Amino acid sequence: MLKLAPLATASPASAMELSPFSKSGQGLLRPLSNLLYQRKGLTLALLLAPPLLWFGVVYLGSLLMLLGQSALTFDEMAMSVTAELTSANFVALLVPANLDIVLRTLAMAVAVTLGCVAIGFPMAYYMAHYAKPAEKGFFFVAVMLPMWASYIVKAYAWTVLLAKGGVIYWGLEQLHLLGVLHAVLGLPAVGGETLATSNLGRFLVFTYIWLPFMVLPIQAAIERVPSNLLFASSDLGATPFQTFRKILWPLAFPGVVAGSIFTFSLTLGDYIIPQLVGPSGLYIGSMVYTLQGTIGNIPMAAAFTCVPIVLITIYLAIARRLGAFNAL
Amino acid sequence: MRFNGVSALRVAAYGGLAFLHLPLLFIALYAFNSNESGYTFPLDGLTLKWFARALERSDIREAIGLSLSVATMATLLAMVLGTCTAAALNRDRFFGKDAFTTMLILPIALPGIVTGIALLAAFKLMDVTPGFWTIVVGHATFCVVIVHNNVVARLRRLPARFIEASMDLGADTLTTLRYIVLPQLSTALMAGGILAFALSVDELIVTTFTSGSEKTLPIWLLNQLSRPREVAVTNVVALGVMLITMPLILVAWRLTRDGDANPNNR
Model confidence pLDDT, tens digit, residues A251-273 = 999 899 989 988 998 898 888 99
Give A221 to chain B, closest Cα distance, Å. 17
Other Cβ atoms within 10 Å of B261 Cβ, number: 9
**This prediction's pTM:** 0.84
pLDDT band at B258 (very low <50, low <70, confident <90, very high): low
Q: For residue range B151-177, list pLDDT tens digits in order.
A: 988 888 888 888 888 888 888 878 888
Q: What is the rounded distance in angstroms from the CA atom of residue A312 to the CA atom of residue A127?
A: 29
Average pLDDT over residues A152-157: 90
Pick the more confident residue, B101 or A302: A302
pLDDT tens-digit map of B38-93 = 677 777 777 788 888 888 888 889 999 999 999 999 999 999 999 999 888 887 67
Question: Are A325 and B153 within 8 A, CB to CB?
Answer: no
Domains of chain B: 57-258 (1.10.3720.10)
Asked if A170 lies within 8 A of B16 by C-beta distance, the reply is no
This model of the complex carries an ipTM of 0.84
- DSSP-derived 3-state class of residue A37: helix
- Residue A144 near residue A212 (C-beta atoms within 8 A): yes
Choose the closest CB to B6 out of A47, A61, A130. A130
- d(CA A189, CA A192) in angstroms, rounded, equals 8
Residues A292 and A102: their CA atoms lie apart, in Å, by: 17
Interface probe, candidates A24, A129, A148, A243, chain B, greatest B C-beta count within 10 A: A148
Question: Any chain B CB within 8 A of the CB of A150?
Answer: yes
pLDDT at residue B235 is higher than 80:
yes
Is pLDDT larger for residue A75 or for residue A326?
A75
